[in-house]
Amino acid sequence: MTRKIWKDIDLAKAPVTKVLEYVNSAPQGLSQEAAAKRLAEDGRNELDYGDQKGLLRITLEAFSSPFTLVLIVLALISFVTEYVWVPAAEADPTSAIIIMLLVLMSGLIDIVQTVRSNQAAEALDTFVEVTSAVCRDGLVAEIPTEELVRGDLVELAAGDMIPADLRLIHTKDLFVSQTSLTGESYPVEKLADASQAEFATDESTYPTMAYMGSEVVSGSGTGVLVRTAQDTLFGEVAEALQEAPVKTSFDAGVESTSRLLIRFMLLMAPTVILINGLTKGNWLQALLFGISVAVGLTPEMLPMIVNANLVKGARSMADKGTIVKNLHAMQNFGAIDVLCTDKTGTLTQDKIVLQTHLNIDGDEDERVLRHAVLNSYHQTGLRNLMDVAIIEAAQRELTFDPDAYTKIDEIPFDFNRRRMSVLVEDASGKTQLITKGAMEEMLGVCAYVEVAGEVEPLDEAHIARILTKVDELNARGLRVIGLAQKADTPREVGLSDESEMVLIGYLAFLDPPKETTAEALKALSQHSVQVKILTGDNALVTQSVCRQVGLDAERYLSGADVAEMSEEALKAAVEDYDIFVKLNPSQKADLVRLLRENGHVVGFMGDGINDSPAMRAADVGISVDNAVDIAKESADIILLNKDLMVLEKGIESGRTVFGNIMKYMNATTSSNFGNMFSVLVASLCLPFLPMLPMQLLFLNLLYDTACLALPWDRMDGEYLEEPKRWDAGNIKRFMLWFGPTSSVFDVLAYAVLFFVICPQAVGGAYGHLGEAAQTEFIALFHTGWFVISLWTQTLVLYALRTPKLPFVESRPSFIMMVVTLGGILVGTLVPYTRLGVALDMLPLPSNFWWLLLATVVGYLLLVTVVKHVYVKRYGELL
């Protein structure tokens, strides 16, 4: 809307007064009433990425998976051949109805899970709400970025994300990263004064404009909001691209296995039809049986099982304090084998206290604390925990009022200078520039040092003495920053004024390790997750903290070391070293990238501005609910409690999700593969079909219902100790081992039913019976194999869910037992009901139950032996 009235270049070059007039705003911002009216007119400041799925789209996607489409085609064929093309007296749509019931059950559950997942994601957004500092009615308050409107005045500080397109009206050393828009890795400076700016042709580089999607790296500023939501430059880019999400290795693995099973089905079904048509002579019946076999070989529940596991896992992780923003990140979360993290707030309590404030002589000095509180109290940039600690210490120890001084100007903190300055004026009109920052950087801007109340030149002897004192404090686990001042400076200061300063003292902070850190690191190690510390802090402080929590702290690499190393040398170094200190943000991201290139699945946990590049480079970005805006936006996983123990529980949940999906994949694919051999043998050897199409479809329905309980099953503790990745080769190997195992007992069951059970029940062998007796013989055989197949196919889930002895060494969940055993009970009782009559089943003779018992016991024993050999050979089952 606004773009049609004013071009970007007009907004960028126009005087501030004209811009305010254009958006109908004022220097004190909008009134609450005007803002509410505009919000109602223009809508919320939210981007439409095109991925908001309505119920219709969700429904279409639920019924358009490859397996579902195959089943729909098979149902149509069955309906035509069994209902349309036959005489009215013989018409029976039961098979088509059962197939469509499978389709509806899978699709409807998928729809319900997807809708619930979307609702859960929307609800979780309240935990990670992003706000902006907005001036309305002359007062500054934090409000959700979605409620911003044109004309709002937004205050910016380091760490903020730009919430919409802004025309800057005031800046102070404001540097913005526009990587998401331009791809440039270096921040660009932004200016409010159009007369001082140089304008290029690319609108994203207009220096007086700040665009949605970029982030404040350093400095401060104020801007008037000129465009929101889809009208922004970022909104237009998002709308134009609409890129499909990147396919994860897990998704690719599911698809490859799906294609494999569909190929089996396309090969198997025509073969069964051909064999039965040639040997039995009834081509229509052979076609219907082939369709039923195809249905049985189709894992139609796979999409729903995967989705149910993801949603169930996300809810479980939420209960443990871990919010999953991206469901598809859960597989990678469970697969993490390297966790990179900063030191502050993860290993430590993130509750910094000012332990001591010393002059250059090493003595406690109130004057040092007074200068420090003037700097921290009056600065308006990114107030960190050190500033809070200084102010709290001053309130405890001093009767000093920082409001007695007036702030004239400031130079905000940035990660390159690693210091910040405030210019204050006392009641007499004397000005003083006070600077605090990292010790090395402070020595670089100081030319003098105050010793015993006298100002002396800062020479090599003083520097050596200062660094020795700093090392001594660092070795005690204290974080040290320097404090300097310069009197009688200009009333407007810039970076050049941070020079020729007088170093007056040190500030030493303590951030003690968390009580749970050592235990958490041990737990992560037991789960085969290697922890690497990537910090911007110095070596001595980092080593002190690492020793306290049980990490080997002797070997480390510094940012300077990293900068001098070649790519190949650094690839080796990231494996050999676990501690990296004095890193800048780009170095953190490079180390994460190299770990991934080395074959690791990497998680990065961070909460600061300098962590966002590394979070984006990791497989899984992990942040906390009180992190800066850009960190929360970059994260896939958000912890409600910044504690490594919570993270370890989340990793366990991710691995549980993966394991339960693998149970279904392995059990179903091996069962289907075994059924292929069993049906081929039966088609070649028996004078009739081993099971009627409707019976086979009903069996498949009962088995699929039993599999619905798998997302609620528990995993063995040993399985959770190792990171897991999708490997289609493992699934294929599992099929080749356990599929033929089931066929062995299928063939034995065929033989006993055909030669022993059925002849004894009807009074003779099949070939010597009349037509009526043969019909009874066939019905008993079908019923017997139906019950045996149901018991073996369902109970083998208990054997294949764990490499241990089921029930004895590994207990399944109560829900799984109820659902699976309930399915077996229903299927066993069906022959004695009207449904059994409709399915052409008969009550089974008493000697059948001995066959069932022997088959089940023998099959499970054989599976246990094969499982033992398999695990011994390959080291794992799932």
Residue-by-residue DSSP string for 461-515? HHHHHHHHHHHHHHHTTEEEEEEEEEES--SS--GGGS-SEEEEEEEEEE-PBPT
8 is catalytic: no
Element (DSSP H or E) covering residue 224: strand 215-227
Distance in angstroms (rounded) separating the CA atoms of residues 526 and 514: 19
The span from the CA of 81 to the CA of 92, in Å, is 9
- As a dihedral over the C-alpha atoms of residue 504, residue 507, residue 508, residue 514, rounded to 10 degrees, the angle is -170
Closest CA to 587 of 412, 433, 415: 415
Strand, helix or coil at 431?
A: strand
Under 8 Å between Cβ of 484 and 512? no
The rounded distance, in Å, linking the Cα atoms of 758 and 761 is 5
Dump the DSSP string for 703-769.
Answer: HHHHHTTGGG----TTGGGS-----HHHHHHHHHHHHHHHHHHHHHHHHHIIIIIHHHHHTS-GGGS
Nearest residue to 524 (alpha-carbon basis) of 615, 636, 650: 650
In degrees, rounded to 5, the angle at the alpha carbon of residue 509 between the alpha carbons of residues 216 and 372 is 70
Report d(CA 359, CA 452) in Å as an integer. 9
Q: Report which of 209, 151, 165 is spatially closest to residue 23, judged by C-alpha positions.
A: 151
Report whether 588 contacts 533 (CB < 8 A). no
Joined tokens for residue 23: 């958006």
> At 877, which amino acid appears?
L
> Sign of dihedral through CA atoms 394, 398, 404, 410?
negative
Q: 597-613 burial string, b = 16+ CB within 10 Å, else e?
A: eeebbbbbbbbbbbbbb
- Report helix, strand or coil for 452: coil
**Paired sense of beta strands 215-227 and 165-177, if any:** antiparallel
Q: Which is the catalytic residue, given 342, 414, 607, 619?
A: 342
For the chain, the helix, strand and coil percentages under 3-state DSSP, each to the nearest 5? 55, 15, 30
* Distance (Å, whole) CA 826 – CA 786: 12
Hey, how many other C-beta atoms are within 10 angstroms of the C-beta on 350? Answer: 15
What is the rounded CA–CA span in Å between residue 604 and residue 612?
A: 9
Strand pairing class (602-605; 338-341): parallel
Report d(CA 777, CA 493) in Å as an integer: 101
Tracing tokens 């998976």 back to the chain, one arrives at 65
Q: Which residues are known catalytic residues?
A: 342
